[in-house]
Amino acid sequence: MNRAIESRARDHKVHDHSTHRHATRARDWRRAMSDNVALALIVYTGLQIFMTVNALKQGFSSIMPYVALVFLVGAIIPACRWFERRWINLDDVEAHDPQLGYAYRRDQIALWLLAIGLPVLMTAAFKMMF
């Protein structure tokens, strides 16, 4: 019984050490922004499908809402690439620089405001038009 407890305590100590080391490692801004851009594109597309296309369907009974969806999703990609390009070109030292935290947060907020706000604004505009 004592061996099991000691073994478990030793395993727990190793786990704590590796967790602590992982927590103190600097964040890679390139990867973090790339992950945010990918997720923002998914959220943006989902919101366009469920909000904007439904609003367009009320005004059009043809294939027009789906053509608009393809256009709207295609139109956001250059903006997302702009956010990603700002961060992907960092070298390895800059990519882990904690001083870039404020700039990263600013770009992250702008990206998410665009990804969530644009479909909401478009849906409101389409509902007012139809």
Q: Is 62 among the domain residues?
A: yes
Average pLDDT, the chain: 82
Q: Is 15 among the domain residues?
A: no
Tens of pLDDT, residues 107-119:
999 999 999 999 9
Hey, is 27 helix, strand or coil?
A: coil
* Residues 31 and 108 sit within 8 Å (Cβ to Cβ): no
Q: Is the pTM of this model over 0.85?
A: no
* Cα–Cα distance for residue pair 28/96, rounded to 1 Å: 5
Q: Is 49 among the domain residues?
A: yes
Q: Is 2 among the domain residues?
A: no
Q: Is 81 among the domain residues?
A: yes
Q: Tell me which residue range forms the domain holding 68.
A: 27-129
Q: Is 58 among the domain residues?
A: yes
Q: Is 107 among the domain residues?
A: yes
Burial grade of 93 (CB within 10 A; 0-12, 13-18, 19 or more): exposed
Tens of pLDDT, residues 60-84:
777 877 887 888 889 899 999 999 9
Domain count of the chain? 1
* Cα–Cα distance for residue pair 109/113, rounded to 1 Å: 6
Q: Is 46 among the domain residues?
A: yes
